[in-house]
Structure 1
Amino acid sequence: MAQILRPSQKCLRKSLFTSIDIGLSLLLLMPTTALADGNNDPPPQTTGTSGGSRGCETQPKPSSISIPALILLAPSQIYGQTSATRPTFAWFISNSDSWQMEFRLYEYDQASKQSKLVKEIKDESFKSSPGIMMLSLSNLELLVGQRYLWQVELVCDANRPSGNPFATVAMKVVSVKPDLEKQLSQSNDILTKANLYNQADLWYNTLEIALTSKDQPKLRELKISLLEQIANEFETGLKEEIKVELTKSTIHQLQR
């Protein structure tokens, strides 16, 4: 994975009524992969991983350990797709201590390349735990056909926000095609539904089932496959280490 440049924190912390120029605020890798539905519609330049490896740790780590402090469990080079208007967001925390977190969801305009903050969570009880964290937003309904950016930040030092690890990825809410909708309605088997979502490239739907369902062998295989896709975005020396850390992680569910 190429070295990632840190975007401007100031640009990504503006209020609900302020537009953000993504082209200037996210000076990261330029994705070129087309969407699964065939549209050549690349997302803004984003990354699903925080820069650096130490994160908020109070003690220095051995130099051989370089897993990022924060990894968003979503594709970073394309729009991760979901058919859920209330999707679940998931990320991995490598830091062993508990730190204040902040979550932001932006509505993105593909034509103007501008984004607007539509949801922010930064209350005192919103804190990190080592492992995989899953966030469900029950009071917010997203729009089908709309693109979004979501971001997680670890607040190491509120007085030095530029040093906080954070990561951002793009997401698109899509409608369910009639054939898929029919297949889903005809099945009560959770594994079948997960496989149908996976075949339709509905990342968020698939991941939610894989992470929250009972540890059936086939669902575990699917979970490992999804997490391996995340690990594969890293350089060769880190892939296997990150895969191991992700697959053995404790899962923490949050509701807001």
Structure 2
Amino acid sequence: NSGTTRGCDGGDIPLTVLASQNYVGRTTSTHPTFAWFVPDSKSLELKFTIYSRGSDGNFTEVRSMSLQSSPGIMKLSPFPEGEPGLLVGKDYVWQVVILCDPSYPSSALVDRAQIQVVEMPPDLQDKLDNAVDSAEKADLYAEAGFWYNALDEALKLAEESKLGEVASALLEDLAKWEKPEPSQDLTQEEREWIEKRMGYLIDIANVAR
């Protein structure tokens, strides 16, 4: 499981990507924004990678970027608007790795999540066209089940490295949605990890608000 190691400095909250671990998060954007929480105050080498999932189940690297970490909420739009982005109808996995000590790769912090790109529903587009601000758009996207769009709009309202009120509320909602159904085919270890992660999401919503 990812993210079981706390920060490089041994903080209370691990490196956490701001997305579901229990469900595949959706977006209508081929150029989505990704966000994650960095627990460490010092700047460290960070690697962001997106993989596409093939019909054979194998993964192919689509985009890889090296950055320096900064504490709190980091966000990244890895595909410039003029470039091709992700493909509609495809599933991807995105991963964030922080190298605590490049000499010891096993000490790295790792977390990842899935993202699925889908067509924009026409009725949702109509509502968005009439929305007055990013807060309303975030609510519309969240109601329609488009996590990545909702978070992107919410973070436009936040100060750098922070969530702001709208994104904090989204993260609290995500923590509730994460709770596994009794009928889900999960091991006890997987259930415990998801429930632990629900707590981390609440903690992040509070500390990064």
Q: Shorter chain as normaliser: what TM range? A: 0.7 to 0.9
Give the TM-score taking structure 1 as reference length: 0.65
* C-alpha contact (below 8 Å) 2:95/2:112 kept by paired residues: yes
Match of 1:246 in 2: 205
Residue 207 of structure 1 is matched in structure 2 by 151
1:127 maps onto 2:68 in alignment: yes
Identify the match of residue 97 of structure 1 among 39, 42, 59.
42
* Counterpart Cα distance in 2 of 1:51 and 1:214: 28
Q: Which structure 1 residue ranges, 4+ long, deviate > 6 Å from structure 2?
A: none
Larger radius of gyration between Structure 1 and Structure 2 = 1
SS of 1:75's partner is coil
CA distance in 2 between partners of 1:190 and 1:116 (Å)? 34
The aligned residue for residue 191 of structure 1 is 135
In the alignment, which residue of structure 1 is the partner of 2:121? 177
- Give the count of matched residue pairs: 187
Shift in CA distance, 187/154, structure 1 to aligned 2, threshold 3 Å: same
Q: Gaps (5+ residues) in structure 1?
A: 5-48, 251-256
Q: Which runs of 5+ in 2 are unaligned?
A: 179-193
Paired residue type of 1:246? A
Bigger RCO of structures 1 and 2 (CA < 8 A, at least 6 apart): 2
Measure how far apart 1:245 and its partner are: 3.7
Q: CA deviation at 1:230?
A: 4.8
Is the CA contact 2:26–2:117 (under 8 Å) kept in the aligned structure 1?
yes
Query: Are 1:67 and 2:3 an aligned pair?
Result: no
1:85 aligned to which of 26, 30, 36: 30
* Contact 2:38–2:72 (Cα < 8 Å) also in 1: yes
1:51 and 2:33 are equivalent in the alignment: no
Q: Percent identity?
A: 36
> What is the TM-score when the length of structure 2 is the normalising length?
0.79
TM-aligned CA distance change 1:140 to 1:127, over 3 Å: farther
C-alpha distance after superposition, 1:102-136 (max 9, x if no partner): 00000112x311110010012xxx11111000001
Matched residue of 1:118: which SS?
A: strand
**How far, CA to CA, are the matches of 1:236 and 1:50 in structure 2?**
11
Q: Which has the higher helix share?
A: 2
Give the conservation status (yes or no) of the 8 Å contact 1:67–1:238: no
